[in-house]
A and B are shown apart, each in its own frame.
Chain A
Amino acid sequence: MEYLVQQLINGIQLGTVYALIALGYTMVYGIIRLINFAHADIFMIGVYTALFTATAYRIPFPLVILISMAVCAVLGVTIEKLAYKPLRHKPKLSALITALGVSLFLENFCALPFVFGPDPRSFPELIPIKAYTWERYNLTVTNIFLINLLVVAVLLLGLFYMVHYTMIGKKMRAVSYDKITTSQMGINVDRIISFTFLVGTALAGASGVLYGLTYASAQSPYMGIWPGWKAFIAAVIGGIGNIPGAVVGSYLMGISEVYATSVSSDLGFGIAFAILILVLIVRPTGLLGKKTYEKV
């Protein structure tokens, strides 16, 4: 029993990392219907940015998060302008292949020896770890876990406020609903799309810092691939394009993955995918996705 609850805590921790990545996927998908494969690698850049800034200058943790978010946001917007914008009115799939190309570029460029190098690096201890043990139930919670939850809560509330109660959020929702009509209302659609990329990639940067803080290592420039994919799948489970759905899906994914891996490390991954398949076959637009009707 204690073991199961402890695993639940680990699962929530993993889900937190996924949630912040999944938000970026889901926001970009919601607005331009593009699976941004490069998002996972922006997460990787976030981990490395935090690693380098924290190693070079001993700066406090909140500042590390802000720097990481800023670097990722600038990178995300640059990629959008250079690679995706020229293809906006071209077939959807060429944009997808471009996204794949950008992803490969980021991974392999960062693996060059004078950039990040292909070898694993250890993440500096940003915050001294304290463990709080609840003796009666034999449960351990670290302060890292609590900080993770706090950061995610702040970012999610901020995102929710922005999307639902500010002008720019209203514009984002409008663009995602109908681009042509929105542009006729005098809204600069390109700028809103760039802004969506900015917010999504900044969240990936924050996720990178939390990942580094929790798992204390940056394996290689290819490290983004699997967390990125699982986060994306989480976004699909929740109903892609739907912000609460991405969060729900991520926690579901994180928790089920931790439980499945504790049974068998080989099986873990397959079970996560099997859940995905089941969810999609029963609810083809995801858990919280809206049902769409096709008009002839």
Chain B
Amino acid sequence: MRRFNIKRHITFLCLLLAYVIVIAIYRVGLLSSYLAQMLMLVGINIIMTVSLGMINGFTGQFSIGHGGFMAVGAYTSAFFTTIIFQLMGGEPPGKTVWGYALFFTAILIGGGFAAITGFLIGLPTLRLKGDYLAIVTMAFGEVIRTIIRVSEPLGGPRGVSGIPAMTNITIVFLSTVGSVWLMRNFLASTYGRASRAIRDNEIAAEIMGVNTTRQKTLVFTIAALFAGYSGGLYAHILQFLHPDDFTFMKSLDYLIYLYIGGANSISGAITGAVIFTIIPELFRGFQMWRMVLYSILLVAVMIFRPNGIIGEREFWFIQQRKAGTQA
């Protein structure tokens, strides 16, 4: 039997500790609901940014319509929790185990729908290159929003209200850690290496036997899945959805988080999402100057650190163990 090695488990222990501290503060009541909501948004933004990083950073494709998938996930899951469940039981699911199970199913369905959308969009468009691909993904994002706007069952231009507030800190925490873990493992696998090969040189990758179209579509679909999933979480925090929440500006936010942090690393995506979710809130005291300061900061970071704050490095807890070495 192997000896318990604290080094192997330190990431897990740190995460557990962080979680216990946050929950303790929350239970004592020191964490206002505003701060709690912000923490949840940080988690959601991390999932969104890391999944966008899979497309933009690791596969070298340029997608700027990620908010569209978030919208698909958010609307699908909200549709299930509000409308379908109401038809079934007359009441939206309460905070019981059964209710959470239904909620979890709903956001998974939302993620699944987003993944299907991602697949359908990715298949024809991923043969475009560079900026053309960017424009088409953006256009698809806007088309998705237009479809939501004109479809009455989804609330049309009025939006959907009365979505049960099912998301809580625990769910967001587990989802964030789980998603980042899954995506990191994906990127460290053969598939991840195929992605990086495509990023570095698509023709060379193809010669080496990577099915580039399949690989790009796969990454796009998986990223859409996570975006849809976090959209589901997002819907159940805000309890209200409006098609204009998911304009192109939303997608640009994630693009900013990603490139500020460093597109070619998961750590960069996480850092960017955390810092740039929190900073605009800190600037709230400056009122109208808030966005001015934000934009100046953005330009300054890019000029002084063009590869993002983190660059291409990874935090030690995200690094994969090197093959052949025993930790």
A interface with B by C-beta (< 8 Å): 29, 33, 35, 83, 86-87, 90-91, 93-98, 100-105, 107-109, 111-113, 229, 232-233, 236, 240, 264, 266-267, 269-270, 273-274, 276-277, 280-281, 284-286, 294, 296
Contact = CB atoms under 8 A, between A and B. Distances in A.
11 contacts: A33-B131, A35-B134, A87-B302, A90-B307, A102-B295, A104-B294, A104-B295, A264-B150, A270-B142, A277-B139, A284-B128
B16 interface: no
A205 to B, nearest CB: 22
A240 B248 contact: no
B302 A101 contact: yes
B146 A270 contact: yes
Contact of A102 (B129, B203, B252, B299): B299
A94 B56 CA distance: 13
Contact of B289 (A93, A112, A232, A284): A112
Contact of B299 (A29, A98, A113): A98
Nearest to A273: B139
B296 interface: yes
A86 to B, nearest CB: 5
Interface of B is mostly: helix
B203 A236 contact: no
B292 A277 contact: no
Contact of B132 (A107, A229, A285): A285
Contacts of B290: 108
A94 B264 CA distance: 12
B178 interface: no
B298 interface: yes
Interface of B: 56, 62, 124-125, 127-129, 131-132, 134-136, 139-140, 142-143, 145-147, 149-150, 157, 203, 248, 252, 255-256, 259-260, 263, 288-292, 294-296, 298-299, 302-303, 306-308
Given A112-B292, A285-B132, A100 B150 contact: no
A280 B146 contact: no
A266 B298 contact: no
- Candidate in B139, B140, B157, B288 with the most chain A CB atoms within 10 angstroms: B139
B136 A104 contact: no
A101 B295 contact: yes
A236 B291 contact: no
A94 B302 contact: yes
A267 B150 contact: yes
B295 A294 contact: no
A105 B296 contact: yes
